[in-house]
Chains A and B, each alone.
Chain A
Amino acid sequence: MTAAAPLLRLEGISKRYGGVRALEGADLVIEAGRVHAILGENGAGKSTLIKVISGVVAPDEGTMLLDGREVRFADPAAANAAGIVCIFQELSLIPDLTVADNIIASNPPTRLGMIDRTAQRRLAEDALRRAGGGDIDPRVPVKDLPLSRRQIVEIAKALARKPRLLILDEATSALTATDVETVLAVIRRLRSEGVALMYISHRMHEIAALADDCTVFRNGRKIATYAAGSKTDEQVVELMIGREYHNVFPPKPGPRTESGVAVLEVRNLSWAPRLRDVSLTARAGEIVGLGGLDGQGQRELMLALFGVLRGTAGEILIDGEKVSINSPRQAKSDRIGMALIPEDRKTEGLMLPMSVRDNLSFAALSEVSRLGVIDSARERRKVDEMIALLSIKTAGTGVPAGSLSGGNQQKIVIAKWLMRQPRVILLNDPTRGIDVGTKQEIYQLLRKLADEGAAILFYSTDYDELIGCCDRVLVMYDGTVRRTLAGAEITEHALISSALNLTGEEAGRGSRTVP
Chain B
Amino acid sequence: MSWRYWFSDNRGTLLAVAIFLAMFVLYIANHPAGFTANVVQTAANKGVLLALVAIAQTFVVLTAGIDLSVGMILVMTSCLASHILAGTPLMTGLGVAGVLGAGMLAGALNGLIVIFGRLQPIVATIATGAIFFGIALILRPTPGASPELNWDLADMMMGKVANTVPMSLVVLAALVLFVWIPFRRSVIGRATYAVGSSEIAAYMSGMPIRRAKFTAYVMSGLFAAMGGLYLTFFTYSGEASLSNGNTYTLYSIAAVVLGGVSLFGGRGSAIGAIFGALAFRSIGDLLFVFDLDPLLQPLFQGVVLMIAVSIGSARLFQVRNRLEFFS
Give A contacts to B, CB under 8 Å. Answer: 56, 75-77, 79-81, 88, 91-98, 101-102, 105-108, 110, 113-115, 117, 137, 139-141, 157, 271, 300, 303, 307-311, 327, 348
Contacts and interface: CB of A to CB of B under 8 A. Distances in A.
Nearest to A140: B5
A92 B193 CA distance: 15
Contacts of B200: 92
B198 A94 contact: yes
Interface string B183-194: 001110010011
Contacts of A303: 321, 323
Contact of A96 (B193, B204, B207, B323): B193
Contacts of A157: 205
A100 B86 CA distance: 49
Contact of B206 (A80, A96, A108): A80
Given A114-B182, A114-B186, A310-B319, A94 B202 contact: yes
B36 to A, nearest CB: 38
A139 B2 contact: yes
Contact of A106 (B196, B205, B322): B205
B194 A97 contact: yes
Contacts of B208: 77
A108 to B, nearest CB: 6
Interface of B: 1-2, 5, 8-9, 182, 185-187, 190, 193-194, 196-198, 200-208, 266-267, 319-323
B321 to A, nearest CB: 5
Contacts of A327: 322
Contacts of A300: 321
Given A94-B197, A115-B190, A139-B5, A309 B204 contact: no
Contacts of A110: 186-187
Given A96-B193, A106-B206, A115-B186, A271 B320 contact: yes
B292 to A, nearest CB: 40
Nearest to B323: A308
Name, among A98, A140, A308, the residue most crowded by chain B CB atoms within 10 Å (CB to CB). A308
B185 A115 contact: yes
Given A97-B197, A108-B187, A114-B185, A311 B320 contact: yes
Contacts of B5: 98, 137, 139-141
A303 B320 CA distance: 11
Nearest to B206: A77
A95 B190 contact: no
The 4 closest A-B pairs by CB, nearest first: A77-B206, A96-B197, A92-B204, A96-B266
Contacts of B193: 94, 96-97
A100 to B, nearest CB: 11
Contacts of A88: 204
Contact of A141 (B9, B185, B190, B196): B9
Contact of B203 (A75, A81, A310, A348): A75
A105 B186 contact: no
A165 B203 CA distance: 19
Name, among A98, A102, A115, A348, the residue most crowded by chain B CB atoms within 10 Å (CB to CB). A115
B206 A105 contact: yes
5 contacts: A96-B197, A96-B267, A115-B190, A303-B323, A310-B322
Name, among B5, B193, B200, B322, the residue most crowded by chain A CB atoms within 10 Å (CB to CB). B322
B198 A95 contact: yes
Nearest to B8: A141
A97 to B, nearest CB: 6
Contact of B205 (A76, A117, A271, A310): A76
Contacts of B9: 141
Given A94-B197, A97-B197, A108-B190, 19 more contacts: A75-B203, A76-B205, A92-B205, A93-B205, A95-B266, A96-B197, A96-B266, A97-B190, A101-B190, A106-B207, A110-B186, A115-B185, A115-B186, A115-B190, A117-B185, A141-B8, A157-B205, A309-B322, A348-B323
Given A75-B203, A88-B204, A94 B322 contact: no
Contacts of A311: 320
Contacts of B196: 96
Contacts of B202: 94, 105
Nearest to A308: B322
Nearest to B182: A114
B206 A310 contact: no
A140 B321 CA distance: 22
A154 to B, nearest CB: 10
Contact of A76 (B8, B194, B206, B323): B206
Nearest to B200: A92
Nearest to A348: B323
